[in-house]
Amino acid sequence: MTRSIRLYVALGAAALVLLGAGVFVAVKLISSSIDGAIPQADLFGVGGPAVTPTPTVAPTPTGPPPGADIQGPLNFLIVGVDTRTSIPGWVPHGDAVMIMHVSADLSTAYLTSLPRDLVVDIPAFAPAKFGGAHTKLTHAMSYGANVPGSRTPNTAQGFQLMARTVSAYTGIAQFDAGALLTFGGLKTVVDAIGGIAINVEPELSHFDAIVPCGVVDPRYGVTSLVDLGLPVTMADLDIALRRAFEEVFGEAEAKVAEPMT
């Protein structure tokens, strides 16, 4: 792997979510599975960092670990978009725009978020036949994703204009890698790690011999909501999940299904 690093499209959220939760052991064990689930493409266009394909041969035990030749400092551009796969032709917006800076010794990372409604100068962009505008940062994705002659937007192309806009605003001439994050991508990553289970009140005695991730404290083993002192039912969980979903994404269109038995 070279300094350019792989350019992650759609599923880069995985590493951020897992590392943010401190699940370092899990990340190491499932990294190959997640890596294979992440589509890769050139997010920066001509003049950007080159795409480094995923190695197909595992390194030998005596060789250097993957990424040992990476040198800092590094700057990553992370963009979250509001894609709607159920609506054909939905125009994406850059709703989350973040810059991650990694120090020269690769020991520290700093994450800076740019407001989606920050008014900036969006440069002209020939692939989308866009002439430039002084408007909100989020629109860089929308304008850049336009494909002349097609009703289907191209989010990777939109990322290119977003990158150029952020570079002009911040003075960062070139990013070392990028991540384009979507809700669908996060779902694929969750599937890649085996899903996320919520135990309400199942019989768990057959898990007594399991020590998850080496954590021996019985408070943090395989447990359930009831064992943790939360006497809830599946119906209660359905209601709580729906309420939390609507607080973030708005009112759900369909009624909650009957609770599982």
pLDDT band at 134 (very low <50, low <70, confident <90, very high): very high
Q: What is the pLDDT of residues 219-229, one digit of tens each?
A: 666 778 887 88
Residues facing residue 9 across a β-bridge: 180
pLDDT greater at residue 38 or residue 173 = 173
pLDDT (mean) for 184-200: 75
In 37-176 the beta strands, taken as DSSP E runs, fall at: 74-81, 94-102, 109-114, 119-122, 133-136
* CA trace torsion 104, 40, 1, 31 (10° rounding): 90
List phi, psi (to 5°) of 135: -155, -165
pLDDT greater at residue 99 or residue 186 = 99
